[in-house]
Chain A
Amino acid sequence: MTTLAERRARRQSQNQISGVEGPRWGLRIFLAVTALVWLLPLLWAVYTSLRPYEDTARLGYVSIGGSYGFGNFATAWTQADLPHYYINTLIISVPGVIVTLLLASMAAFALSRFSFRFNIALLMLFTAGNLLPQQVIITPLYRMFLSIPLPTWLSSTGLMFDSYFGLITIHVAFQMGFCTFVLSNYMKALPRDLTEAAFVDGASVWRQYRSVIMPLSRPPLAALATLEFTWIYNDFFWAIVLVQTGSKRPITSALNNLAGLYFTDNNLIAAGSILAAIPTLIVFVLLQRHFVKGLTLGSSKG
């Protein structure tokens, strides 16, 4: 154990070596306080969720004491049938992410490795499409979803509307723009010799895509998969408008109804919110690197 003074002296000398003056206590305190303020809303939700309603009713929400436990989580989990909504989310997000990346990588490959007359125009269309506010297209889209028939094995209503398939489709169509933009920037930067050599060896266009470009594009694909999973998981708007049956909605949008029906007190709302946040918090902890890379890939070019 070193004393505080010793530690401070050591750090000061370290700073002198690296050419920085002062230990910058001001900055460190500022950042520590900011970080704490930022964590506070979540910590408050966690604290509330761990206390039984009876205790908070008796002692007040801002208090210490009573018992702590996971009772609210168990209640939220079973009463609101949360597993059902997690499965809905999986049914939508897994195919959504895979198909989005597949289609976006195809388009990005064609746009970045070959030159057409409409290259730039198409790429601009993809990029702009992703930037539109969803509400700009929702009115006609809603009517289209109501009038496009689907076979009953795809949709119990026989329509795009109120079906998993329809929801997946709009996620794919909408998210494709961003992914195409990011992937085409990445693929454009891959050496031209790679596909040139493959071409000379007689590789078809499909082989160039499948065996040359796709394996090399793993890093942006991993980053985009992480980011797209989070975005599709977090979607609220598409599911609220395009899925009418409450029990078909994925968890983020279902929470709105559940909060009114089953989560009758703040303790349960806190527990339900945390349960709904857990998958994205896992992404935050385990895949932070990919998530941040995905976000910054989209902005590095421009």
Chain B
Amino acid sequence: MGANTQERSTAKPKRKKRFSLLTRRDLIVLGLLLGVPAAIHIFFVWVPALLSIVLSFANWNGIGGVGKIDWIGTTNYQQIATIYPPFWPAVRHNLIWLGTFILIATPIGMYLAVQLDKEVRGTRFYQSAIYLPVVLSLALVGFIWQLIYAPEEGLLNNLLGTTQQGNLIDWLGNPSLNLWAILIAASWRHIGYIMILYLAGLKSVDPTLKEAAAIDGASSRQTFFHVVFPVLKPINIVILVVTIIESLRAFDIVYVTNKGTNGLELLSILVTNNIIGEASRIGYGSALAVILLIISLGFIITYLFRTFRADEAEL
């Protein structure tokens, strides 16, 4: 450790000097190496993100040039909150999605990782089976689960014996059931994703830590909660961020099921409906996007500062 910091402190001035030793050609090459990717990324990701904020204060149907834009202040936001029927259901569904992922799916994924980490015979097979859905797209997950949820032909109703007109359960059509049915399908994939991330984290834990806890008489549960879990704090944060972002991004599975209507409204769906629907309401769509942006940026910024603080101290 000590030697390492010393090395770094001597390397620092050297590195600075080296920078000034670069030839003009090298500086141009370096500028291009960084400049070209940065320009593309900023132009196609951050410029639209900022434009979303700007356009959220506008009334514009996209017809006619930018000069036709009507600036209307916060009217879009006021209308969304008061007279746009799908908005509050969408917020509620997004929150249910987030809550289910954080409180149920993610802990199940972590639990499975802990069990798989015990390496009983056949662990590799079990692990592969559980993470198999991760390589599938969420759109495809939607199709595969339709075969299970279909009212008369689906696996579930046939097993339950509820395929007759009188007792038919419409898993995907009933607005008080379909969100939960979809969440089970989405969790099928999410649990595998979390399992594989957490398992990699568990494998990186120094085994002597666990041994020391065992020698001190800690049960495996105590060892996990008091030794392993705190050591894995960085992974825990990554998992939390992944879970939140995945919940806010949810779109495909709902869109292939019923285009996000009738109990499956989500913010991401509403944004999309306002640009590719028959009525293109750019200001409205942008205002909805900004709401999504604000929710996600809060988490993203917290994550970034935790991740990069260590680096900043280094430089």
Contacts and interface: CB of A to CB of B under 8 A. Distances in A.
A48 interface: yes
A133 B266 CA distance: 13
Interface stretch (A38-46, A69-77, A216-224): A38-46
Interface in A142-192: 142-144, 146, 169-170, 172-174, 176-177, 180, 192
Nearest to B247: A133
A128 B306 CA distance: 13
A270 interface: yes
Interface stretch (B77-85, B115-123, B223-231): B115-123
A120 B315 contact: yes
A50 interface: no
Contacts of B155: 44, 61-62
Contacts of B102: none
B25 to A, nearest CB: 7
Nearest to A230: B135
Contacts of A273: 140, 143-144
Contacts of B147: 41, 44-45, 48, 266, 269-270
Interface in B17-50: 18-19, 22-23, 25-26, 29-30, 33-34, 36-38, 40-49
A28 B148 CA distance: 27
Interface string B122-154: 110110111111111111100111111010011
A55 B216 CA distance: 63
A115 B16 CA distance: 8
A32 B115 CA distance: 12
Interface stretch (B165-173, B175-183, B289-297): B289-297
A107 B40 CA distance: 11
A137 interface: yes
Looking at chain A's contact residues, the main secondary structure is helix
A192 B11 contact: yes
Interface residues of A, number: 105
A134 interface: yes
A252 B140 contact: yes
A295 interface: yes
B91 interface: no
Contact of B143 (A60, A176, A234, A269): A269
B307 A131 contact: no
Nearest to B60: A143
B188 A137 contact: no
A302 B240 CA distance: 12
Interface string B233-267: 01101110110010011011001100000000001
B143 A106 contact: no
Contacts of B122: 28, 31-32
Contacts of A103: 36-37, 40
Contacts of B126: 31-32, 34-35
Contact of B271 (A24, A135, A299): A135
A12 interface: no
B40 A299 contact: no
A63 to B, nearest CB: 9
Contact of A299 (B26, B38, B200, B276): B200
B5 to A, nearest CB: 15
Contacts of A109: 33
Interface in A243-302: 252-253, 255-256, 259, 266, 269-270, 272-273, 276-277, 280-281, 283-284, 288, 291-292, 295-296, 298-302
B158 interface: yes
Q: Which of A139, A143, A174 has the most CB of B within 10 A?
A: A139
Contacts of B128: 284, 288
Contacts of A82: none
Given A107-B37, A284-B132, A61 B312 contact: no
Contacts of B98: none
B48 A141 contact: yes
Contacts of A146: 62
Contact of A30 (B115, B146, B196, B307): B115
A204 interface: yes
Contacts of B106: none
Q: Which of B29, B38, B118, B301 has the most CB of A within 10 A?
A: B38
A125 interface: yes
Q: Which of B16, B30, B47, B248 has the most CB of A within 10 A?
A: B30
B278 interface: no
A120 B249 CA distance: 26
Nearest to B252: A236
Contacts of B140: 234, 252, 255, 273, 276-277
Interface in A57-115: 60-62, 103-104, 106-107, 109-111, 114-115
B15 interface: yes
24 contacts: A34-B112, A41-B147, A45-B147, A56-B153, A106-B37, A125-B38, A128-B297, A132-B293, A136-B293, A138-B48, A138-B289, A139-B275, A139-B285, A173-B40, A176-B37, A237-B251, A253-B139, A256-B255, A270-B147, A276-B140, A280-B135, A284-B132, A295-B200, A296-B200
The 8 A-B residue pairs with the shortest CB-CB distance, nearest first, are A234-B137, A173-B44, A140-B51, A296-B200, A35-B129, A110-B34, A137-B48, A107-B37
